[in-house]
Amino acid sequence: MDKTKTTRNTAAKTAVLEILTQSKIALSHTEIQKQTNDLCDRVTIYRILDRLVNDDIIHKIVNLDGTVKYAKCHHHAQRVHIHNHAHFSCEKCLEITCLENVKPSYIIPHNYKVNEINFTLSGLCPNCLNSNN
């Protein structure tokens, strides 16, 4: 909420961001925690993720099943970063990926003011679609 505070670079923050940068898929808090190898407390990771989301460096994805994941955005064309792209959630391997080029078009009654959209598709990803078992 408060965008006035300056945020600092710490070892834990750098580690979390590095993990997200390296990952091709979105990661949950727990998955990130496992990869940090007890570098810092569980709570600290929650707070780091909050900060990174607030600073528009990563974005938060809520899946159809309620799972919350985080992903770093690989495009930074605009100054102001709007996360209006789609996410794909594979029902088999459970991985969530950003479909940065897929953007929905829609018509909504004029008496609604839209600030944010969330568009998640679920089904089978290319990998699981090929390995048919």
Partner DNA sequence: ACTTTAATGCAACATTGTTGCAAGTTAAAT
Partner DNA sequence: ATTTAACTTGCAACAATGTTGCATTAAAGT
Q: Contact, 61 vs 27, CB < 8 A?
A: no
Backbone phi and psi for residue 92, each to the nearest 5 degrees, phi listed first = -95, -60
Tokens representing residue 118 in the block: 């969330």
Contacts for 58 with CB less than 8 Å, ≥ 6 apart: 17, 20, 49, 52, 70, 71, 72, 73
119 binds a second copy (CB under 8 A): yes
Q: Which is nearer to a second copy, 68 or 75 (CB)?
A: 68
Question: Which CB, 10 or 30, lies closer to a second copy?
Answer: 30
63 binds, among DNA, a second copy, none (CB under 5 to 8 A by kind): a second copy
Residue whose C-alpha is closest to residue 26's, from 88, 117, 81: 88
- Single out the residue of 34, 93, 126, 131 in contact with a second copy (rule: CB under 8 A): 126
Contact 97, 24 (CB under 8 A): yes
Look-up: residue for tokens 């944010």? 116
Q: Which stretch binds a second copy (CB under 8 A): 22-30, 35-43, 46-54, 99-107?
A: 99-107
At closest approach, how far in Å is the CB of 88 from a second copy?
6
- In the complex with DNA, the residue whose CB is nearer, 7 or 84, is 7
Q: Which residues bind DNA (CB under 7 A)?
A: 5-13, 28-30, 39-44, 46-48, 50-51, 66, 68
